[in-house]
């Protein structure tokens, strides 16, 4: 068992009278021996109502083992990218960044300034030029500000509407 979160069942998360499970890079309430394991509140968003997405600051973020993820897996249970780096969380897992999170859902980092196409924290003429240079259909490109699969006049309007320094 790797990259799993076992939390909220008391008293024992793992009962192994007759076997010796190998547990690594898991968050186990009460603790369990194995490389990368932690024993810390995963900070689920709303566990009482079954929302087991990781909240900001969760110790499970960037704490998994990349090499344990099957090569065919690129998305989490929501269909979002499985490998996302949270710049606000130290990478405590294993592998080349971005490091996978423990649990079923990858913590998704909000882009609070999508109109800043070139990532310099300002929305200005440079972003407009970059949009003009990427005109047409695209998939997951930064120039598609409104995320509708094409770079067109609507993205220009989005940039004009967000003109100036990013919040």
Beta strands (DSSP E) in the chain are 5-6, 27-28, 44-46, 51-54, 122-123, 136-137, 150-151, 164-165
The single residue among 66, 85, 95, 134 that binds Ca ion, judged by CB under 5 A, is 85
Output the smallest distance, CB 45 to Ca ion, in A: 16
Choices 15-23, 44-52, 69-77, 87-95 (CB under 5 A): range interacting with Ca ion: 87-95
Is residue 65 a contact residue for Ca ion (CB under 5 A)? no
The single residue among 13, 27, 76, 116 that binds Ca ion, judged by CB under 5 A, is 116
| Cβ closest to Ca ion, residue 14 vs residue 95 | 95
3 state DSSP class of 125: helix
Size of the site for Ca ion (CB under 5 A): 16
Nearest-angstrom CA–CA distance, 107 and 101? 7
Output the smallest distance, CB 13 to Ca ion, in A: 22
Residues 6+ apart with CB under 8 A from 90: 62
Which of 95, 86, 30, 96 is CA-nearest to residue 60?
Answer: 86
Nearest-angstrom CA–CA distance, 102 and 4? 5
Choices 11-19, 32-40, 66-74, 148-156 (CB under 5 A): range interacting with Ca ion: 148-156
Pairing of strands 164-165, 122-123: antiparallel
The single residue among 12, 78, 111, 148 that binds Ca ion, judged by CB under 5 A, is 148
Contact set with Ca ion (CB under 5 A) = 62, 84-86, 89, 91, 101, 116, 118, 120, 122, 127, 144, 146, 148, 155
């Amino acid at each position: 068992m790797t990259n799993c979160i076992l939390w909220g069942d008391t008293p024992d998360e793992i009962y192994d009278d007759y076997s010796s499970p190998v547990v690594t890079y898991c968050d186990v309430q009460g603790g369990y021996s194995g490389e990368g394991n932690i024993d810390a509140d995963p900070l689920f968003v709303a566990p009482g109502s079954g929302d087991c997405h990781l909240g900001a600051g969760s110790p499970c973020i960037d704490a998994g083992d990349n090499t344990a993820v099957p090569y065919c897996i690129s998305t989490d249970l929501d269909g979002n990218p499985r490998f996302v780096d949270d710049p606000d969380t130290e990478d405590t897992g294993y592998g080349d960044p971005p490091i996978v999170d423990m649990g079923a859902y990858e913590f998704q980092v909000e882009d609070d300034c999508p109109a800043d196409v070139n990532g310099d924290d300002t929305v200005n003429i440079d972003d407009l030029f970059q949009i003009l240079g990427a005109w047409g259909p695209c998939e997951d490109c930064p120039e598609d500000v409104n995320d509708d699969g094409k770079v067109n006049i609507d993205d220009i309007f989005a940039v004009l509407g967000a003109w100036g320094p990013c919040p």
